[in-house]
């Protein structure tokens, strides 16, 4: 598979080179790319059209927040109020301004996370989901398995901080895994809408008017059809980008890691992708189908007395009849209560998260 992929990559590189104008007296030849790793994906079909060092684990910086956003959106009710803990307040260094004891509406916290790339928002959401930052790392691992990330990412910090600033030294992810994660996040209409916003105004719980500007503003304004996604930077990760664009209803997504000019190199990749006809894509490797990252609760050895519903239904999630207010809902609630007692804080938060309602678009599966 790797040999075939390399051959396809060579062909794609030749195609990309052909899109660069020939040198003239007025035009200098295009410089070689500076990125350490990159992936280009047709987000509609999932075909990987270009890859360089795609399976090498590198520091992802704030690109991690694409995964944090999906987990928070899936685990917490839409009307959740996210408490701000001391851990969130002390997050380093970029913050939206959360203060201990405040309660931030989930939707505002998600805007702060994606648009402003606020580390305090990432930490507040993580603690609300899992009860602690280390526990959220375990949930990130489960979500990675659910998303079928193949390169075994190292996931500890919900904001993407590393070294001493990050939880347990921070994260490592491959460009391939980040492409899967970003494609899945952008298939969620609510999160995709946030990723596309250039600015966001809101009133905080302190009754102060906030105006945040997207960290991805330059790309959103400069690339025709840009609809997201996320930028990242730390001293160890360098400059990183995940960018997506829509041209004529066709969606292309680029991941660029450790680049000297990530916006320009993402634009070059996207241009090359749009130049490849869909009819030629069938020979290229394909990412896993889009799916929602619903991590399972921690395993328990406690015996739960069976009622009319098998135990596997409790482990799999809320029964549809309960969401519709079915008459037998009290049976599931009783079983869930026993499960909460048996497995502690993390399972309690799993049970209280919203049930799936088809919020994830399947247009890219």
Q: Which long-range contacts (CB under 8 A, 24 or more apart) does 201-207 make?
A: 202/108, 202/111, 204/97, 204/102, 204/104, 204/108, 205/102, 205/103, 205/104, 206/99, 206/102
DSSP 248-270: TTEEEEEEEEEESSHHHHHHHHH
Instruction: Provide the H-helix boundaries in 197-344.
Output: 217-222, 262-275, 311-316, 320-323, 329-343
* C-alpha span between 203 and 221 (Å, rounded): 25
Phi, then psi, of 200 in degrees rounded to 5? -150, 130
62 is catalytic: yes
* Category of 53 on φ-ψ map: left (φ > 0), alpha (ψ -120 to 50) or beta: left
Catalytic residue among 52, 95, 117, 259: 117
Under DSSP, the state recorded for 317 is: -
Catalytic residue among 52, 62, 214, 259: 62
164 is catalytic: no
- Nearest CA to 149 among 122, 119, 173? 173
DSSP 8-55: HHHHHHHHHHHTSPPP-SS-PPPPPP--SEEEEEETTT-BEEEEESTT
Secondary element (H or E) of residue 238: strand 238-247
User: What is the CB neighbour count within 10 angstroms for residue 139?
Assistant: 27
Catalytic residue among 65, 174, 230, 259: 65
Which residues, 6+ apart, have CB-to-CB distance to 89 below 8 Å?
98, 99, 100, 120
132 is catalytic: no
SS3 state at 285: coil
Residues with a known catalytic role:
62, 65, 117
């Amino acid at each position: 598979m790797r040999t075939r992929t390399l051959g396809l990559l060579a062909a794609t590189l030749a195609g990309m080179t052909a899109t660069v104008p020939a040198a003239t007296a007025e035009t200098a030849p295009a410089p070689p790319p500076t990125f350490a790793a990159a992936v280009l994906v047709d987000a509609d079909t999932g075909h990987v059209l270009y890859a360089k060092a795609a399976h090498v684990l590198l520091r992802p910086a704030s690109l991690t927040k694409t995964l944090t956003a999906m987990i928070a959106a899936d685990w917490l009710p839409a009307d959740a109020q996210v408490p701000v803990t001391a851990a969130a307040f002390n997050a380093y260094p970029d913050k939206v301004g959360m203060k201990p004891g405040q309660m931030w509406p989930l939707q505002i916290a998600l805007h702060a996370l994606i648009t402003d790339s606020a580390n305090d928002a990432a930490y507040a959401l993580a603690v609300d989901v899992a009860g602690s930052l280390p526990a959220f790392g375990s949930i990130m691992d489960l979500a990675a398995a659910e998303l079928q990330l193949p390169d075994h990412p190292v996931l500890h910090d919900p904001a993407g901080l590393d070294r001493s600033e990050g939880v347990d030294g921070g994260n490592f992810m491959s460009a391939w895994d980040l492409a899967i994660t970003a494609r899945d996040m952008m298939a969620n209409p609510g999160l995709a809408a946030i990723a596309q916003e250039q600015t966001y105004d809101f009133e905080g719980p302190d009754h102060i008017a906030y105006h945040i500007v997207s960290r991805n503003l330059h790309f959103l304004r400069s690339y025709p059809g840009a609809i997201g996604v996320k930028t990242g930077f730390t001293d160890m990760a360098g400059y990183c980008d995940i960018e997506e664009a829509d041209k004529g209803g066709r969606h292309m997504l680029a991941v660029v890691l450790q680049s000297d000019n990530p916006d320009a190199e993402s634009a070059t990749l996207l241009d090359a992708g749009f130049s490849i006809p869909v009819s030629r894509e069938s020979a290229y490797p394909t990412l896993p189908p889009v799916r929602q990252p619903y991590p399972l609760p921690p395993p328990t050895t406690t015996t739960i007395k069976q009622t009319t519903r098998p135990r596997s239904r409790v482990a799999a999630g809320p029964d549809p009849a309960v969401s519709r207010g079915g008459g037998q809902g009290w049976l599931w609630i009783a079983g869930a209560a026993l499960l909460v007692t048996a497995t502690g804080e993390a399972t309690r938060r799993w049970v209280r998260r919203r049930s799936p309602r088809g919020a994830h678009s399947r247009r890219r599966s």
